[in-house]
Structures are given as C-alpha cells and as structure tokens.
Structure 1
Amino acid sequence: AKNEFGISAVEYVNSFFFDKAKNVSYLKEMKTRADDLGVKSLLIMCDNEGNLGDPDSNKRTQAIENHYKWAEAAQYLGCHSIRVNARSFGTYDEQIELATDGLRRLTEFGDTLDINTIVENHGGLSSNGEWLSAVMEKVDHPRVGTLPDFGNFLLEEDVWYDRYKGMKELMPYAKAVSAKSHEFDNNGNETGTDYYKMLKIVLDAGYDGYVGIEYEGTVHSEMEGIRLTLELLKKVRKK
C-alpha cells in the first residue's frame, strides 16, 4: 500500500489471518512492518465469527465472545476499531432488538480495550439505513458506530436500498468509511456510484477520518482497481 500507492493507513481483513488472532509473534511482525513504513493500522474487518443478532441466545453469546480475540488483536496492532456484521433473523423489530443486544455486549467489552465496535452495511437489514440507524440509537454507546460502504446496499437479490439515502442515514454514526468500486468509465468515474455526490454526503456529516478503498470489480486487476479508485478520490477531493 505504501510503496505502490503512497497510502499510509490500512485496514485488515480477519479471513487473511483467521487463525492468527492470538499469535503474538505474528501480530508483532504485522505491527513491526507497519511501524517501520510509518503506516497506521486502522481496524480489523471481522467475518465468519457467528451472528451478533442470532435469535438463539447461546449462539449470540458465542458470536459475541468469538469477537473478543479480534478486539484484543486490534488493540495490540494500534487499531481504533473492529468492523463487525449485525446479521440477525426474524421480523424487522425483532432483528433490531437482537442486533442491539449483541452489539451492546460486544461494544462494552471493546470499551475496556478502548476499541470501537463498528457495523458495516453488509447485506440483509444491515443494508437498510433506517434499520441500522435505529440499532445505533438503541445501543447508544460512544464506542459503537457504523462503517458506511458506498456500494453495499443490496437488501436481497435484485432489491436495492437507495445508496445516497443510506449513506446520509449512516454517516452520523460513522467511525470509518469504505469507498466501494466496481467498474469505471473512460473518464475514470465509477459507473454505479456518483463519487462526487457520495463524498459530499460524507463531508457534510462532518467526517474527517480515513476513506478506505475497496475494489470489487472484474474488469481490472485488484491493484489496478485500487489505483483507479484512489485516482478518482483524489480527483473528487480537488473539486
């Protein structure tokens, strides 16, 4: 990231070191490499650790506890947050209650480590800005927040939530932001998301943190996709 793109802050994905959360020598090597390059470690994205809003209370508790090691790893690496999923099942209101319970309990644990617990719009009701905002209000903790992703507003197959409406709803709670990209036109603009409109929403919310780059397209290589997204963000910033 630093050498190829001049990027001085990174986010980690737990699936790339899934069995290393408690491996101190591995984490120490990660930290040393980042520190040597002057790269900030911002957060760990946590997947495949169970559903924090699981209707089964035992499974919900297990999911909460499964995240503890990642909060501890995040603290060790100097991150400010872990990114989690608020996946649940049931009615709209039932899922609010279940996700609130799981998130509040995990957030309270993270608070003891000075680590934030932040939720990405990541499918299902979490991609509904009104729903996730309601969960944030109910958890009502300074250490809980959102990680709004420009593109992750797919509620179910072929059913989309308005991404600009969703970003406006989620930005008041944002502790990180993800600039999702898929394809680009000949002018270097993302074909599915108006980056000018999106970044205005981000800035109007008073956000002044990092914006993560996440390319998920198929036309370009991952490295080229990152470069194109970075160039677009720089272009928009100049405006």
Structure 2
Amino acid sequence: MQFGFSSYSFYQHLRDGRMTLLDVIDWIAESDATHMEIATVSLSPEISNDTSTLDQDPAFVEAIRDRAAERGVTLSNLVVPADLLGSGAEASMARLKRHIDVAAELGISLFRHDVAPWGMKARDVAEFEELMPRMVAASKELARYAAQYDITTSVENHGLLMNGGERVRRLIHLVDEPNFKTTLDVGNFLSVDDNAVVSTALNAPLASIVHLKDFYIRDSFPGDGWHHTPGGKYLLGAIVGYGDLDMRRIVEGIVASGYDGFVSIEFEGIEDALVGAERGLTNTMRLFSEATEAAA
C-alpha cells in the first residue's frame, strides 16, 4: 500500500498563496507519504469552479514533473472535473483528452474524470437509465484514448448522479474496458446516503485508487458550512479517524478485498490543512497496519 495525499487536501494554503503546488510536493516529501495526486480544482480560486489551466501551461507541467522527481514523490493520479452530459459536453471531452496528454507528460498512470457536475441528479431511476448510455459512451471513449499511454481512467463516486456503489459498478461493467475502473472515495457515498462500509467493500476490487476521507455526521442542522444529503443528514469534513465514519471497518473492507495500491488522504475539514494532513496520515497508516495484522 502506498500512502499519500490529494493536492485538494492543501486547498486552504493553495488558495491564499501560503503554498504553491511545488511547496506541497516538498511538504509531502518530508512526511511519511510517498505520492501525490493532482486535483485541478485545487489550482483554482474557487473550489466549486475548476478554472485550472494546467493543460495550457507546459512550463508548469515540467516544473511539477521535475520537482516530484527531485523529491522522490510519485505522481499517482490526475483528477479533472467534467460535464459530459450537458451542452458543453464536446468541450469537456476535449479538455479531458488534453489533460490525459498532460498526465502522460507527468508520468502519471491514473486519470479520474467526472461524467456529470456535482449537483446534477436524476429525478427517478428511469431518467438515470436514459442518461446511462451517454455516460457509458463518453467513459469508453476516454478509456480508449488513454490506453495509448497505458493510463487507467476512472470515475469517482462523486456528486449526486454517478454515486452510490451499485451505480458505479454498473457503469464499469457496461463500459467494459480493461483500463476503466473507479476512484473509490470512502466518504462520498454518504452524499447520497449510501452505506460507506458496505459500498467500499463491494467497490474496492474495482478501484484504481482509494480516497480516504472522514466526516462528522449529524441528524439536524448544526450551522453554516455543513453539507445536506438527500436523506436529511448533515456532513462536515473531518480529519481521517476523527469523524463519525466507521473507519476501521471501512479499512478492513479495503484490505480484505486484496487492494494494494495508492491510498490518498483527501482532507476537506475546517481545521488547518497541514494539521489535518499530518494527523490524517498518522491515523491512516495505523488503521491499515492494524487491519493488515488482523487479516494475517
């Protein structure tokens, strides 16, 4: 297992200029982590609007590649939002392909894309079924494009439409490409009131990379900043191991599946990002060590 971070974990410091992405690489190199995945939204001023121009900045791409190589940090995954169902689907597809080219230039072997914006949802299962062929076709096209670079593409259980363990598994089954898997985010299942323990265990065999995150969970409105789920729960990002997810059982499910790849901590809490990253990494490594020993 290789433990590391999503650049998204450092968004607080990236947004206000306290750190650059190169500084993040340095920080990771000096920790016990071994890899970093690049989330393009972490390079944008607004977390809800990806305006990154990584695909138009070859000098920056070269600087990232060189710094990571110098510091011994593996670049594991490139994470790019997209809307492949709306009126801008053609432009989104072209942008994703440009970013797959960037991933190849960076020596990154994994690429995660969305199929729909975070807030899009189907009114009912019939509407979801109508959308499925378009999601399948777009994901297949991207997987085949990435295959020329030996890059594995993936969809994350993210947002309100392509989320929930069963929906993700169905998409992977229907795309039916050997290099198409899932970026498995253990916390995002809660955004659609899915059972994180069960869905993690079922989806782990199909994972190209795992996101470990935690949430505080409440049944009534606690105040500003909490995310409201369709089922009436309220979520707030937490340091891994500090929140209300059953993280031990979640990690046990990952270990039991035989998964042995990249694990990225994705911190999105209100505590300082560096505190969240440091303590989250410590807890993550302890949880996986305990689960591995118990399974032996």
Superposed pair shares fold, TM > 0.5: yes
Q: RMSD between aligned alpha carbons? A: 1.9
Query: Matched residues in 1 for 2:183 and 2:29: separation?
Result: 26
Aligned to 1:229: 280
1:172-211 matched pairs, under 5 angstroms:
172-181=205-214, 182-183=237-238, 189-211=241-263
Amino acid across the alignment from 1:36: E
Query: Matched residues in 1 for 2:248 and 2:204: separation?
Result: 16
Give 3-state SS (helix, strand or coil) of 1:191's partner: coil
Structure 2, unpaired ranges of 5+: 1-26, 45-51, 215-236, 291-296
Amino acid across the alignment from 1:73: V
Aligned to 1:149: 185
Query: Matched residues in 2 for 1:24 and 1:66: separation?
Result: 15
Runs of 4+ in structure 1 displaced over 6 angstroms? none
Distance 1:3 1:175, change over 3 A: closer
- Residue of 33, 36, 50 corresponding to 1:7: 33
Amino acid across the alignment from 1:151: G
Give 3-state SS (helix, strand or coil) of 1:11's partner: strand
- Residue of 125, 134, 149 corresponding to 2:161: 125
- Residue of 142, 147, 154 corresponding to 1:111: 147
- Residue of 66, 70, 77 corresponding to 1:36: 70
Give 3-state SS (helix, strand or coil) of 1:43's partner: strand
Query: Matched residues in 2 for 1:2 and 1:167: separation?
Result: 26
Structure 1, unpaired ranges of 5+: none
Deviation of 1:3 after TM superposition, in Å, equals 4.2
Deviation of 1:154 after TM superposition, in Å, equals 4.1
Aligned to 2:83: 51
Distance 1:154 1:233, change over 3 A: closer
- Percentage of matched positions with identical amino acids: 22
Greater RCO, CA 8 A, separation 6+: 2
TM-score, normalization by structure 2? 0.72
Amino acid across the alignment from 2:64: M
Query: Matched residues in 2 for 1:89 and 1:108: separation?
Result: 27
Distance 1:63 1:147, change over 3 A: same
